Amino acid sequence: MSKRKNEFDVLLEIRMENIPARFILSAEKQMRRFLETSLSESRLSFGKINIFGTYKRLVAHIEGVGEKTERKILLVKGPPARFLKDEKGEYTPESTGFAAKQGVRLQDLRVEKTPKGDFIFAEKEVGGESSKAKLGEIFSAMISSLEFPKSMIWEETGFRFARPLRGIVSLFGDKIIPVRVAGVKGGRTTEGLNAKGGKTIIVRRVTDYFRILRNVNVIVKDDERRQMLEREIKSAAARMSLSVNLDEDLLLENLYLVEYPVVVSGDFSIDFLKLPPELINLVMKKHLKFFSLSEKNGSLAPYFIGIKDGVSRGQKNVRTGFKNVLEARFKDAVFFYEKDLAAGIKNYAGKIGEIILPVGLGTLKEKAQRVKKVADFIASLNLFGDLDRSDLNAACQCLFADIPSEVVREFPELEGIMAYYYMKKAGFSEKAASSVREYHFPLSTDSPLPSGEESLVLSLAGKTETLVSFFAAGLSASGTQDPYALRKQASGLARILVEKEISLNLREVFRVVRSTLPDGMDFDCEAEKSLLDFIWQRAEVLFQQRNFKFYELRAEKDFFARDGDLFDASL
């Protein structure tokens, strides 16, 4: 977009010591909100606001800012009209003070009629101030307003920020904007890539900034850096004739760990492929931020892709270093995995009685017993033609049994998944092992549902037990607070019932759960009504996606509240 005369681009770069990747997106959102509000309230004309971030700099680039704040005529209401002049025709102290406060002459005051009577008004012009000066105030306030999950204090004023500030670039075109925060003054000096020694760079004007930094291997713009990162990763995978597992969370984390992404690909010993693929992926992701690669048949390949910051000599040494660290982590994983296999899933199942649940819900063993009783009840309804009760009982026997294991204590995300491998090793059937693996399914609003009938029964039982137990304890999700992920449980329950077309009276299931609750805990009529409404709120989203009309949803809600059958309500 071309700029008109007296319009300039504005730049703010906040440079600090390296901050965690997870802090950056939130900071970018805060900066955008603050600037959109503050620029408008200050009557600053502007075009597009661009926000960027890396591990060492947060950047605001504002296009087309006017040289002066916009002028505007304001009509300011003052005291009632009777206070304009006294009986002698002299201006009163009230009108004199009002005129002085508004910066207008007494003779320019006028009386206007309003619905509440006649009042004194002053007409005055505001605006026309230096945008550069106003931006200095806005930038200083914005930097001070940023909040992070954790902050540091490093200088005598007690200023808090994610990491110590090390520099500020603040430019209006080619002029410096006066900014000062925590003893750091705005100027035109920044630094290049850490990996290249952080060379000092002078920015003469805003229009030079991105080009100058790109020339020293700093890609400031998030989208540009992401495109480069994805392109390099895919190219490296293609050179090996493999496909890369582009985990979105891992991609985002790497995006904010580097300013100039450089791919380092390498291999590891094929012996480590005896580990479950989910464990291999998590070791690579969680410990080293590496991407895994797969063969054409979908099986994991003994290769990795790591990301480093900037091009450097000795790339082969970097590759060797990455490989050595990765294999050391894999050796730890093998040790824990083999220790778990030796102990056996049944041994770990005997330990879940030692794990205490919150809010008086007993032990994990007692929860497993409650889930089994609910699963037995659902199975007795004969809703599933090919259900194998022996496989369901075996799954209940091993439910939660991998939680005390060495691998799951290190990687809690693998609960259920590791139980699958331990159960298979112990001789349990595929159906039984898969039921435990899929106990938490669906994991999101669009992820797969449990695949088998045993898995469906166990997942339904677990979700209803969890919801009834927490509602009986007086706990439910409210506002943005949902520490026990109850919305996820209710959404999953609704998806299974509706998408699998299961006619199940939840009121009857609730009564079974109620009979299993710990002493002193009750699930009364009010709690039941609240839980049904809670589940309906999640189900309503599903029905809206199926284009149900408002009056149809109303009828369905009434039916569900009365009979407790979500699928029948949708017919």
At 387-408, the pLDDT tens digits run: 999 999 999 999 999 999 999 9
Over residues 22-42, the pLDDT tens digits come to 999 999 999 999 999 999 988
- First-last CA distance in the chain: 54
| C-beta separation of 504 from 381 below 8 A | yes
CA 548 to chain centre: 30
Q: pLDDT tens, 326-373?
A: 999 999 999 999 999 999 999 999 999 999 998 889 999 999 999 999
**Band of pLDDT at residue 571, cut at 50, 70 and 90:** low
Please state the φ and ψ torsions of residue 97, each to the nearest 5 degrees: -65, -40
pLDDT-based confidence at residue 4 (cuts at 50, 70, 90)? low
| Separation of alpha carbons 312 and 94, rounded Å | 73
Helix (H, G, I), strand (E, B) or coil at 96: helix
Q: pLDDT band for 1, please (50, 70, 90 cuts).
A: very low
pTM of the model: 0.84
**Tokens at residue 446, please?**
């669009």
Separation between Cα atoms, residue 539 and residue 489, nearest integer Å: 12
Residue 556 makes CB contacts below 8 A (sequence gap 6+) with 543, 548, 569, 570
Provide DSSP, 8-26. Answer: EEEEEEEEES---GGGHHH
Please give the residue that has the higher pLDDT: either 345 or 522.
345
The predicted structure's pLDDT at residue 558: 78
Residue 116 has pLDDT above 80, yes or no: yes
Is it the case that residue 469 has pLDDT exceeding 50? yes
Q: Mean pLDDT throughout 202-220? A: 96
Report phi then psi at 216, rounded to 5.
-110, 30
pLDDT at 452: 94
pLDDT the model gives residue 511: 94
Q: Is it the case that residue 462 has pLDDT exceeding 70?
A: yes
3-state secondary structure of 66: strand
Closest CA to 436 of 455, 457, 408: 455
Q: Environment class of residue 434 by beta-carbon count within 10 Å: exposed (0-12), middle (13-18) or buried (19+)?
A: buried
Q: Pick from 155, 173, 174: which is nearest to 165 by CA?
A: 155
Q: What is the mean pLDDT of the segment spanning 417-440?
A: 97
What is the predicted pLDDT for the residue at 163? Answer: 96
Can you list the positions of beta strands (E) in 377-488?
Answer: none
Q: Which two tokens stand for residue 203?
A: 């920015």
pLDDT tens-digit readout, 46-79: 999 999 999 999 999 999 999 888 888 888 999 9
Gap between the Cα atoms of 47 and 64, Å rounded: 5
State the pLDDT at residue 395. 97
Mean of pLDDT values over 104-120: 93
Give percent of the chain above pLDDT 90: 80
pLDDT of res. 2:
52
Radius of gyration of the chain (CA): 32
Mean pLDDT of 282-300: 96
The predicted model gives 443-447 an average pLDDT of 89
pLDDT tens-digit map of 307-316 = 999 887 778 8
Write the CB contacts of 469 (distance below 8 Å, at least 6 apart in sequence): 361, 367, 370, 513, 517, 521
Peptide bond into 442 cis (omega under 30): yes
Neighbours of 28 (CB within 10 A): 18
- Model confidence at 100: pLDDT above 90: yes
Taking CA atoms, 499 is separated from 150, 173, 436, 489, 496, in Å, by: 42, 58, 21, 15, 5
Q: Output the six-digit token pair for 550.
A: 């408002």
pLDDT higher than threshold 90 for residue 253: yes
d(CA 189, CA 13): 10
Amino acid letter at 226? R
